[in-house]
A and B are shown apart, each in its own frame.
Chain A
Amino acid sequence: MTKLMTDDTIIDRQRGTGSRTTFWLGVVGLVGAIALVFLGFFVAPPDDFQKDAVRMIFIHVPMAILTYVAFSLTAIGSVAWLWKRSIWWDTVAHGAAEVGVMFSGLTLFTGSIWGRITWGTYWDWGDVRLVTTLILFLIMVGYLAVRSFDGDEAVNATRAAVIGLIGAANMPVVNRSVTWWSSRRTLHQKSSLVNGKIEGLTLFTLMFALVVFSIIMLWMLIHRFRISWLERQVSEGDLSEALTARRAEARAGMDRETEENK
């Protein structure tokens, strides 16, 4: 990444946004995902109560955790943009928001499939974490909508950063209010990890899944970062090229005038 920032010619046009690091990161992520399928479906034992449905945990829980990691990055990046005008952090915030929206969407999707199997309903309004994640998802969809406004990129970055800030500051209140609101009728189990109810191979597979998904997320973030960085350079490059061309024209015109005057 540092190479990309110091010298934009390092990136080979043929290879896109990949580099040796991202190549191996991608390979590890892919192999890990295949191993996870094997571990999750064949090695980890079924649950006493949920039977095979418990295997959803290997996708749902890591996705949910990484959703919050991604949105935390967006919040940090937003603050860094507003405070230090750091383009680097602004680019991270944008990439993390996109990845986070995808992960939270998948969290909601896998959560409702799992809910259908174990609770018999796709959506449970009494479920604090599901409802909180939905609200966060909607706020971040708004963040991306603001990012897509036409006009000055720096202005949109400021707009988006304020939303990132509002979202982050309001999350505790959202979580608290949903907790109170739904306390009468919750279905979600208390965090099984903390209770120590998950153990042995299931716990190992879950931790393995978290590592694999983290690697995949990192891979996506780096690529997204590089794409944004290149986009920025292209738009800035266009402008400076156009300016140089106009200046050259003007200079040629002036030269001609002086020639004629002679």
Chain B
Amino acid sequence: MLTDARLVAAKDLRIELRSRVTVSQVVPFAGLVLVLFGFALDANRPTLDLATSGLFWVTVLFVAIMAVQRSTAVETTDGARRALLLAGVEPGAVFIGKAVAVAVQLLTVEVVLVGGIVVFYGASIEEPFLLASTCLVATIGIAATGTLLGALVAGVRARETVLPILMLPVLAPVLLGATRAFDDALGSVAVNGWSWLAMLTGFTAINIALGVLAYGVLLEET
């Protein structure tokens, strides 16, 4: 199963790497959103200090929607899903592979975004380990949930508009949890980031389990 997952992840990442969409479009988009938030909040440093974590994760959610949409589109064109099924790859492995590929893309964008909030918003990283762990756990959770929901709307005409409606409410705990954990890691608000990280871990575990269980049904039926 893990070999299959690695193959699927490698395939998706290779497609991304060759099309260069993440580097040439998604990263600039993320940076642009950060700048726009700066304009919207009137580049007011005290306000930006308070809002940095939240803005970071809202931007990540926007990017996640784009990444999931691309990841789904790859499978819907040219009947690639059928081919995957016919190849005898286990659906759970396809799910894990696609989620890992989305997570890797998101983490790449997050590295740039962390640089962005340091430069544009003047954020200082007080606890790098907490920051990195939060990014990792939250991103895996986002990627898993997104991949499952992406498969759910695959093949539907209105999928571009429906996907955010389905994804964002389910990801609300990630926004709350990751924002709080970042508040701690950036030292902007005194909270216990680690307990939030524990909550995020629970979220991620639940949604990976759901994905492994339900992805096969969606892959075969939709």
The interface of chain A, by Cβ under 8 A from chain B, is 82, 135, 138-139, 141-142, 145-146, 149-151, 154-155, 158-159, 162-163, 165-167, 169-170, 173-174, 176-178, 180-181
Chain A's closest residue to B171 (CB) is A170
> Would you give 20 A-B contacts (Cβ < 8 Å), ordered by A?
A135-B169, A138-B168, A138-B169, A141-B165, A142-B165, A142-B166, A145-B165, A150-B157, A158-B217, A158-B222, A159-B153, A159-B218, A166-B145, A166-B207, A169-B206, A169-B207, A169-B210, A173-B202, A178-B173, A181-B176
Check if B158 is an interface residue, CB within 8 A of chain A: yes
CB < 8 Å neighbour of A173 from B157, B180, B206: B206
Known: A146-B166, A159-B222, A170-B207. A177 touches B217 (CB 8 A): no
Could you tell me the distance between the alpha carbons of A149 and B195 in the complex, rounded to whole angstroms? 40
- Interface contact B166-A151, CB-CB below 8 Å: no
Task: Compute how far the CA of A154 lies from the CA of B207 in the bound complex, rounded to whole angstroms.
Answer: 24
Q: Per-position contact with A for B129-173: 1 when CB-CB < 8 Å, else 0?
A: 000000000000000010011001100111000100110111011
Given the interface pairs A173-B202, A173-B203, A180-B196, the reply to whether A158 lies near B221 with Cβ below 8 Å is: yes
B156 and A151 within 8 A (CB) = yes
Q: B177 contacts the other chain (Cβ, under 8 Å)?
A: yes
Are B180 and A181 touching (Cβ within 8 A)?
yes
Report A145 CB to chain B, min CB distance, Å: 6
0/1 interface trace, chain B 197-216, chain A, CB 8 Å (1 if under): 00100110011001000100
Task: Judge whether B169 and A142 touch: CB under 8 Å.
Answer: yes
**Nearest Cβ on chain B to A187's Cβ, whole angstroms:** 18
Residues of B within 8 A of A173 (CB): 173, 199, 202-203, 206
On chain A, the residues within 8 Å of B153 by CB distance are 146, 159
Whether A82 contacts B176 in the complex (CB less than 8 A), given A142-B166, A146-B166, A158-B222, comes out as no
Residues on A with beta carbons closer than 8 Å to the beta carbon of B172: 135, 174, 177
Contacts of B162 in A (CB 8 A): 142, 145-146
A178 to B173, CA, bound (A): 7
The contact size tier of chain B is: 20 to 34
Closest chain B residue to A182, Cβ basis: B176
Instruction: Tell me, in angstroms, the Cα distance from A141 to B164 when the chains sit together.
Output: 12
Complex Cα distance A142/B166, Å? 5
- Cα distance A49–B126 in the bound complex, in angstroms: 47
B83 to chain A, nearest CB (A): 20
A178 touches B176 (CB 8 A): yes
A145, A169, A170, A176 — most chain B CB neighbours (10 Å): A170
Least Cβ–Cβ distance between B72 and chain A, in angstroms: 13
Which of A141, A150, A159 has the most CB atoms of chain B within a 10 A radius of its CB? A159
The answer to whether A139 and B169 touch across the interface, beta carbons within 8 angstroms, is: yes
B210 touches A166 (CB 8 A): yes
Q: Which residue of chain A lies nearest to B162 when distances are taken between CB atoms in the complex?
A: A145
The answer to whether B222 touches A170 (Cβ under 8 A) is no
In whole angstroms, how far apart are the Cα atoms of A151 and B162 in the complex? Answer: 15
Instruction: Decide if B169 touches A165 in the complex (CB within 8 Å).
Output: no
What's the nearest-Cβ distance from chain A to residue B159, in Å? 9
**Is B207 touching A158 in the complex (CB atoms < 8 A)?**
no
Contact B173 A162 (CB under 8 A): no
How distant is B204 from chain A, measured CB to nearest CB, in Å?
A: 10
Known contacts A146-B152, A162-B148, A178-B176: does B170 contact A139 (CB below 8 Å)?
yes
In Å, the complex CA distance between A150 and B155 comes to 11
A154 and B217 alpha carbons, distance in the complex (Å): 12
- Mask of B28-56 contacts with A, CB within 8 angstroms, 1/0: 00000000000000000000000000000
| Extra contacts besides A138-B169, A142-B169, A158-B222 (19): CB < 8 Å | A135-B172, A142-B162, A142-B166, A145-B162, A145-B166, A146-B152, A146-B153, A146-B162, A158-B217, A158-B218, A158-B221, A159-B222, A163-B166, A165-B210, A165-B214, A166-B149, A166-B210, A180-B180, A180-B199
Which B residues are in CB contact (< 8 Å) with A174? 172-173
Q: What residue in chain A is nearest B215 (Cβ atoms)?
A: A162
Q: In chain A, what residue has the closest Cβ to B169? A: A138
CA distance A203 to B36 in the complex (A): 52
